[in-house]
């Protein structure tokens, strides 16, 4: 049984998206490797706050039916550069149990290990569901502070939490909470101001807008589109929220969700996150995906996992979804709100055309830190969700386009460095990306 200290996967688990046939041996191997990572490695692999992605990578490969050997290889490739956790200070852990002292340790990476032990103790005493409701979803000052931190670090804490909830692993949930505590809260004004403006819009009876409509409006807003600059250290904080905060809130607050719309709006969010990640291309440069947009897409899968939790109120689920979309809109604006070129997807010719099984096999073999495999699984999951007829209205990706998009992801990484662009709305981001080959002949039909 999985506990706050013990990672235990089961071959019979049914995560949000998985490939049939997961073996007992794969579950045992993944569990052992995740346990080793949990005990031996910090959540950041360097002092600059670069995230340890081993949990994300192994759980994604496990869901895609990786063999024990493939799981071991993925772990070995990424364990070599990790660092150990800082020494535990039990006096600090005791302090954290006192709310007035708990706050003084927030936002400091050096206390990650202490927070990890603290949350494990809380889960042992209360259960992981109660801990999440108390520390993240309660709606008081402490929980709202934590919810902001969940969306920091380009969504890494909420992604980590999503994996923990999806695979029902309290130890990974504890990692996510401790990771969030090590992040900052500079996005708080966006979420707070957007909620206030959304309440005012509701009292005025103004209509809702879809995510795709808001993406187009953001691109058309010259002040917001040009607020981020290539030289900004953080293009959301230093660009969007410094030079055009009111404009960002104006658009972010126009996205709202009622409890009755939760399932449909979740599908809409998933589609939109995949859409702007996939179609923000710059021909004639070869197809590449933006590293930051990718996190919006990769995190999308977990909002169905959150939605399925009976212990989480529908009010909390709708609020969480609203925050996700508002974060996505800010992410889109922060890279210069590039044009979304649907023809880049509809006209794409895969390099090695196959069904999804072939895509999964290729991404499992790929030397990766988890980003590519997560994106492939997120796209396959989006096809499943949007194919259920949910989120109707404004869905531009449909039918076989999802499978083709899976090929685009693997093709774009297999061709070599750079694997990703960072800031796709800026010309500078594409300078090292080669131009695409001359248009290939369509594959021979058998």
pLDDT tens, position by position, 91-137? 999 999 999 999 999 999 999 999 999 999 999 999 999 999 999 99
Six-digit token pair at 48? Answer: 């600059």
Six-digit token pair at 380? Answer: 């396959």
Give CA–CA dist 244/222, Å, rounded. 10
The pLDDT assigned to 441 comes to 45
Give CA–CA dist 378/380, Å, rounded. 6
Give the mean model confidence (pLDDT) for residues 22-44. 97
The pLDDT assigned to 387 comes to 80
- Closest by CA to 341, choosing from 419, 285, 382, is 285
Helix H or strand E encompassing 290: strand 289-290
The pLDDT assigned to 392 comes to 54
Interval 135-178: pLDDT, tens: 999 999 999 999 999 999 999 999 999 999 999 999 999 999 99
Please check whether residue 45 is in contact with residue 51, taking contact to mean a CB–CB distance below 8 angstroms: yes
| pLDDT over 60 at 438, yes or no | no
Domain residue ranges of the chain, discontinuous segments joined by +:
24-79, 90-181, 189-430
DSSP state letter for 285:
B
The pLDDT assigned to 393 comes to 55
Please check whether residue 429 is in contact with residue 291, taking contact to mean a CB–CB distance below 8 angstroms: no
Higher pLDDT, 391 or 8: 8
The pLDDT assigned to 394 comes to 63
Give CA–CA dist 266/303, Å, rounded. 7
Strand partners, 435: 285
Interval 212-253: pLDDT, tens: 999 999 999 999 999 999 999 999 999 999 999 999 999 999
Six-digit token pair at 361? Answer: 């096999």
The pLDDT assigned to 83 comes to 94
Give the mean model confidence (pLDDT) for residues 12-16. 96
Q: How many CA atoms lie within 13 A of 336 on its CB side?
A: 18
- Closest by CA to 257, choosing from 290, 303, 309, 310, is 303
The rounded mean pLDDT for the chain is: 95
Angle between helix 128-135 and helix 112-126 axes, rounded to 10 deg: 120
CB neighbour list of residue 196: distance below 8 Å, 6 or more residues apart: 253
The pLDDT assigned to 389 comes to 52
Residue 44 DSSP SS3: strand
Percent pLDDT > 90 in the chain is: 92
Please check whether residue 57 is in contact with residue 74, taking contact to mean a CB–CB distance below 8 angstroms: yes
Please check whether residue 131 is in contact with residue 143, taking contact to mean a CB–CB distance below 8 angstroms: no
The pLDDT assigned to 125 comes to 98
pLDDT band with cut points at 50, 70 and 90 for residue 206: confident
The pLDDT assigned to 234 comes to 97
Question: What ranges in 65-169 are assigned the alpha helix state H?
Answer: 68-79, 90-96, 99-102, 112-126, 128-135, 141-150, 156-166
pLDDT band with cut points at 50, 70 and 90 for residue 391: very low
CA angle 419, 339, 154 (to 5 degrees): 50
| pLDDT over 90 at 17, yes or no | yes
CA 245, distance to chain mean position in Å, is 23
Give CA–CA dist 77/8, Å, rounded. 22
Q: Taken in order 373, 375, 379, 381, is the CA torsion positive or negative? A: positive
Phi, psi of 420 (to 5 degrees): -140, 155
CA angle 270, 220, 343 (to 5 degrees): 55
| pLDDT over 90 at 446, yes or no | no
Interval 258-301: pLDDT, tens: 999 999 999 999 999 999 999 999 999 999 999 999 999 999 99
Give the mean model confidence (pLDDT) for residues 4-19. 97
pLDDT band with cut points at 50, 70 and 90 for residue 48: confident
pLDDT band with cut points at 50, 70 and 90 for residue 47: confident
Give CA–CA dist 421/336, Å, rounded. 13
Give CA–CA dist 9/32, Å, rounded. 9
Question: What ranges in 312-351 are assigned the alpha helix state H?
Answer: 314-334, 343-346
The pLDDT assigned to 388 comes to 63
Please check whether residue 304 is in contact with residue 266, taking contact to mean a CB–CB distance below 8 angstroms: yes
Give CA–CA dist 147/180, Å, rounded. 8
Strand partners, 44: 51
Note if the pTM is more than 0.85: yes
DSSP state letter for 280:
-
**DSSP assignment string, 345-409:** HHT---SS---HHHHHHHHHHS--SSHHHHHHHHHHHHHHHHTTTTT-SS----TTHHHHHHHHH
Interval 332-373: pLDDT, tens: 999 999 999 999 999 999 999 999 999 999 999 999 999 999
The pLDDT assigned to 274 comes to 98
């Amino acid at each position: 049984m999985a506990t706050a200290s013990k990672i235990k996967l089961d071959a019979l688990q049914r995560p949000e998206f998985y490939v049939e046939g997961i073996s007992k041996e794969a579950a045992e191997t993944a569990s052992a490797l995740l346990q080793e990572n949990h005990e031996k490695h910090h959540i950041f692999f360097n002092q600059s706050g670069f995230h340890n992605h081993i949990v994300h990578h192994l759980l994604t490969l496990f869901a895609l039916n990786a063999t024990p050997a493939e799981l071991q290889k993925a772990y070995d490739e990424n364990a070599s550069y990790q660092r150990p956790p800082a020494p535990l200070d039990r006096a600090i852990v005791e302090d954290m149990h006192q709310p007035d002292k708990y706050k003084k340790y927030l936002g400091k990476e050096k206390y990650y290990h202490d927070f990890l032990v603290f949350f494990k103790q809380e889960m042992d005493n209360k259960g992981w569901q109660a801990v999440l409701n108390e520390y993240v979803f309660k709606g008081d000052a402490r929980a709202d502070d934590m919810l902001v931190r969940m969306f920091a670090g380009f969504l890494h804490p909420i992604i980590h939490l999503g994996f923990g909830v999806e695979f029902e692993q309290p130890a990974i949930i504890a990692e996510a909470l401790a990771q969030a505590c090590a992040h900052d809260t500079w996005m708080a004004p966006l979420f707070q101001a957007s909620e206030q403006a959304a309440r005012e819009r509701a009292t005025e009876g103004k209509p809702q807008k879809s995510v795709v409509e808001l993406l187009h409006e953001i691109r058309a807003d010259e002040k917001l589109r040009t607020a981020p600059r290539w030289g900004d250290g953080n293009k959301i904080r230093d660009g969007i929220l410094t030079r055009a905060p009111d404009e960002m809130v104006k658009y972010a607050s126009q996205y709202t969700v009622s409890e009755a719309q939760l399932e449909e709006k979740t599908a809409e969010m998933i589609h939109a996150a995949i859409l702007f990640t996939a179609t923000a291309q710059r021909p004639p440069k070869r197809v590449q995906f933006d590293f930051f947009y990718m996190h919006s897409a990769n995190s999308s899968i977990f909002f169905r996992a959150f939605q399925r939790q009976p212990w989480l109120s529908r009010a909390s689920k709708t609020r969480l979804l609203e925050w996700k979309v508002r974060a996505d809109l800010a992410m889109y604006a922060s890279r210069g709100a590039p044009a979304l070129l649907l023809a880049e997807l509809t006209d794409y010719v895969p390099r090695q055309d196959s069904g999804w099984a072939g895509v999964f096999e290729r991404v499992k073999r790929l030397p990766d830190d988890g980003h590519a495999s997560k994106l492939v699984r997120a796209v396959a999951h989006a096809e499943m969700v949007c194919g259920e007829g949910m989120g109707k209205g404004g869905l531009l990706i449909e039918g076989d386009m999802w499978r083709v998009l899976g090929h685009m992801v693997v093709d774009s990484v297999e061709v070599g460095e750079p694997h990703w662009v960072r800031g796709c709305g800026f010309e500078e981001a594409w300078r090292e990306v080669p131009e695409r080959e001359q248009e290939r002949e369509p594959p021979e039909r058998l």
